[in-house]
């Protein structure tokens, strides 16, 4: 049996194997952001098929500015706890764990939805992919965001989730704070790396008060903005951020990369050969060498052989998949039974479809 089926521990979470479903927006939430029956069924199916840890779609912590899309799940109010309780029960019924990803879309709030939606960010840096310039957050708004994130983590615990994950990746609000490209502030929240990551420390402190010391808080961390040239997030800054997160009590770090302006970096298209897989492995190796907490690698993992090598080479302790599990929710169970050693996903990215999460690739 593959070493990927060995149990592993993240904080107080005992996981049956090393397979993680990375956070994946499914566009299947209720219009107000509540968890839907279709989501309960989707998560239950993944758990029934041997995914050890399921990370939810990003759930937004502050209404309405933090919302990224239609039918996105929300966690900005206590009324959303009941839905996550159902999701946790559906996952726990199969011996899997559920971690709730908490997020704020920041400068990547879509321009078209809702119409006229204001976008806020650490600094007023124009998004070159949309031409939109966000408004700089006031100091007072930043303090209210810290409370919103902490309350969201507290709700994850109240719902019976096994942990929460701070979304510090992909150009959303928290990753835009840590990058010097999107954070040009001159106050205590910008400038030096220490100031740029301060928001994470402040959230961790408050989240601990809301959820207690034992509740695992993970982070999905950008390892690069994904744009060429100087003035962007650097790997030394990422490694230092990972160390700071560890000092603040983070339970595990998932390494990802890319912002919306850097097309094809987060979810690289056309990953079909082993050498294209694991495209953030070098960054994960650097992070893992610097921290003692478990590291999760995401990005283009498709074959059992590459995933095993990632773990045996010490690039990461766990492997996370998104698109392959959209196409084949049963993939991990089939790998366990020895029926396949390769995902059939061709990374066409048709699954980015607000009509609802499924593989939209036309059958040949």
Ligand X SMILES: Cc1cc2nc3c(=O)[nH]c(=O)nc-3n(C[C@H](O)[C@H](O)[C@H](O)COP(=O)(O)O)c2cc1C
Can you give the binding site for ligand X, defined by CB under 6 A? 22-25, 57-58, 101, 167, 169-170, 220, 256, 266-267, 298-301, 321-324, 351-352
**Closest C-alpha among 181, 203, 204, 183 to residue 195:** 183
The angle, 0 to 180 degrees and rounded to 10, between the axes of the packed helices 37-48 and 81-92 is: 30
The least distance separating ligand X from the CB of residue 299, rounded to whole angstroms, comes to 5
Rounded CA separation 62/28 (Å): 19
Name the residue nearer to ligand X (CB basis): 143 or 352.
352
- Write down the least CB distance from residue 230 to ligand X, Å: 25
Q: State yes or no: is 181 an active-site residue.
A: no
Strands (E) in 11-82, as ranges, are 13-15, 19-21, 53-55, 59-60
Cβ closest to ligand X, residue 57 vs residue 304 = 57
d(CA 357, CA 28): 7
Gap between the Cα atoms of 182 and 282, Å rounded: 24
Smallest distance, ligand X to C-beta of residue 348, A = 10
Residue 119 or residue 347: which is nearer to ligand X going by CB? 347
DSSP letter string over 211-267? H-TTS-EEEEEES----SSSSS--HHHHHHHHHHHHHTT--EEEEE---TTSTTTTT
Minimum distance, C-beta of residue 188 to ligand X, in the bound complex (Å): 27
- Give buried/exposed letters for 282-295 (b at 16+ CB in 10 A, else e): ebbbbbbebbebbb
With respect to ligand X, which residue has the nearer C-beta, 244 or 357? 357
Catalytic annotation, pick one of 172, 181, 232, 279: 172
Nearer to ligand X, 179 or 190 (CB): 179
Q: Residue 167 Cβ, how far from ligand X at the closest point, in Å?
A: 5
Positions annotated as catalytic residues are: 172
């Amino acid at each position: 049996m593959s070493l990927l089926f060995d149990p592993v521990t993240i904080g107080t979470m005992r996981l049956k194997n090393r397979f993680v479903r990375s956070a994946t927006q499914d566009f299947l939430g209720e219009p107000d952001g509540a968890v839907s029956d279709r989501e309960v069924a989707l998560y239950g199916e993944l758990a029934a098929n041997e995914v050890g840890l399921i990370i939810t779609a990003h759930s937004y912590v502050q209404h309405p500015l933090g919302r990224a899309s239609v039918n996105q799940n929300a966690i900005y109010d206590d009324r959303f706890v009941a839905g996550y309780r159902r999701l946790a029960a559906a996952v726990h019924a199969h011996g899997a764990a559920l971690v709730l990803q908490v997020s704020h879309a920041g400068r990547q709030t879509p321009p078209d939805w809702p119409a006229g939606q204001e976008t806020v960010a650490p600094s007023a840096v124009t998004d070159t992919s949309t031409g939109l310039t966000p408004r700089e957050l006031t100091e007072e708004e930043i303090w209210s965001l810290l409370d919103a994130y902490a309350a969201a983590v507290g709700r994850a615990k109240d719902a019976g989730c096994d942990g929460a994950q701070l979304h510090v990746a992909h150009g959303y609000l928290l990753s835009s704070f840590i990058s010097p490209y999107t954070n040009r502030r001159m106050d205590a929240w910008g400038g030096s790396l220490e100031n740029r990551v301060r928001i994470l420390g402040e959230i961790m402190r408050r989240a601990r008060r809301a959820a207690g010391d034992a509740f695992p808080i993970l982070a999905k961390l950008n390892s690069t903005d994904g744009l060429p040239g100087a003035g962007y997030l650097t790997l030394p800054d990422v490694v230092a951020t990972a160390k700071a997160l560890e000092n603040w009590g983070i339970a595990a770090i998932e390494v990802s990369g890319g912002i919306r302006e850097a097309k094809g970096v987060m979810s690289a298209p056309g990953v079909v050969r082993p050498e294209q897989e694991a495209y953030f492995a070098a960054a994960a190796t650097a992070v893992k060498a610097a921290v003692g907490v478990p590291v999760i690698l995401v990005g283009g993992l498709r074959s059992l052989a590459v995933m095993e090598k990632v773990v045996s080479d010490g690039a990461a302790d766990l492997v996370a998949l998104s698109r392959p599990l959209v196409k084949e929710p049963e993939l991990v169970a089939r790998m366990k039974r020895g029926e396949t050693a390769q995902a059939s996903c061709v990374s066409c990215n048709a699954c980015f479809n607000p009509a609802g999460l499924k593989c939209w690739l036309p059958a040949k």
